[in-house]
Structure 1
Amino acid sequence: MAERNKYKHFLSIGTRWRDNDIYGHVNNIEYYSYFDTVINSYLIAFGGLDIHRGTLVGVCAESHCKFLAELSFPETLEAGLCVEHLGTSSVRYGIGLFRSGVDTAAAEGWFVHVFVDRYTRRPSPLTAALRAALEALHIEVPL
């Protein structure tokens, strides 16, 4: 199980009324929305990603989530983010979703972005600003 100290960046995310399903807990699909939120808010704030006019677009190539404990509305989550692998045009993030003040993740997963040219949709190298922001989150992942 992922512990809070694995992650280098955190974002508070409030669950919403609509996040709960008929069973009274956050529906599994919403976890991927939380993943997208912590990743893209970090890239915009610290990597200079321009989602409207920039030449690079991050496309999800692969993702995974392991559900460890129920989350529900109303709660404020703390989404932890790290970089497990950094390539020329791709990155694999590690993400942990934590209840406020709890050190053990309620969910953990990973997400792979491939950065492509906005128009050609061909893989394109990371900008210097994106690379620097992602290197700041890089951790050593045991093999």
Structure 2
Amino acid sequence: MSERAKRSDYRHFLPLQTRWADNDIYGHLNNVVHYGLFDTIVNEYLIASGALDIHEGAVIGLVVETGCRYFAPLEFPQKLEGALRVAKIGNSSVRYELAIFAEGAQEAAAQGHFVHVYVDRRARRPVPLPDGLRKALEKIGV
């Protein structure tokens, strides 16, 4: 993602709401909040699509890489929209690309990526993506 993302670049959207504690001393969302929102967007999609059982599943995703670019400030109280797409699906890894939009905005206020490596819950060793997970990822792939 080299340029500022647009709403039309994404496949899945999630309404989000800022919280009182999200603002920093400068009056806008602290940079760490964006990463929490990214994590929420990814996991909401995976859970809602039935691709991830966070409590009992044999496979879990571990974040091995993240990045974020900031274009416009966001603040409390403000309604937001999170956006998600899958840029690359590997044997045991996935690159998610995300954006956060002010409600109704066409350009991202922030955009970034997460790379998850899926591992066996107990052994913590990489495993091939389960079929259900792969199918859910392919639905929002670009």
Q: What TM-score range do you get, normalising by the shorter chain?
A: over 0.9
SS in 2 for 1:70: coil
SS in 2 for 1:37: helix
Q: Which runs of 4+ in 1 moved over 3 A?
A: none
TM-score by length of 2: 0.96
User: Is 1:137 aligned to 2:130, yes or no?
Assistant: no
Task: Quote the residue 2:18 is aligned against.
Answer: 15
CA distance in 2, matches of 1:55, 1:77: 33
Task: Quote the residue 2:61 is aligned against.
Answer: 58
Alignment map for 1:1-143 (pairs within 5 Å): 1-139=4-142
TM-score by length of 1: 0.95
CA distance in 2, matches of 1:77, 1:116: 32
Specify every segment of 5 or more residues in structure 1 that has no aligned partner in the other structure, as ranges: none
| Native 8 Å contact 1:84 1:138 kept in 2 | yes
CA distance in 2, matches of 1:58, 1:16: 26
How far is the alpha carbon of 1:88 from its aligned partner?
1.1
How far is the alpha carbon of 1:115 from its aligned partner?
0.4
| Native 8 Å contact 1:47 1:131 kept in 2 | no
| Native 8 Å contact 1:47 1:132 kept in 2 | no
CA distances 1:102-140 after superposition (whole Å, capped 9, x unpaired):
10000011110000000000001111111000000110x
CA distance in 1, matches of 2:132, 2:58: 13
How far is the alpha carbon of 1:47 from its aligned partner?
3.7
SS in 2 for 1:22: coil
Specify every segment of 5 or more residues in structure 2 that has no aligned partner in the other structure, as ranges: none
- Number of equivalent positions: 139
CA distances 1:33-87 after superposition (whole Å, capped 9, x unpaired):
0000000010011143110110011100000000000000011110110000001
Identity %: 53
SS in 1 for 2:49: helix
- The aligned amino acid for 2:23 is N
CA distance in 2, matches of 1:76, 1:61: 29
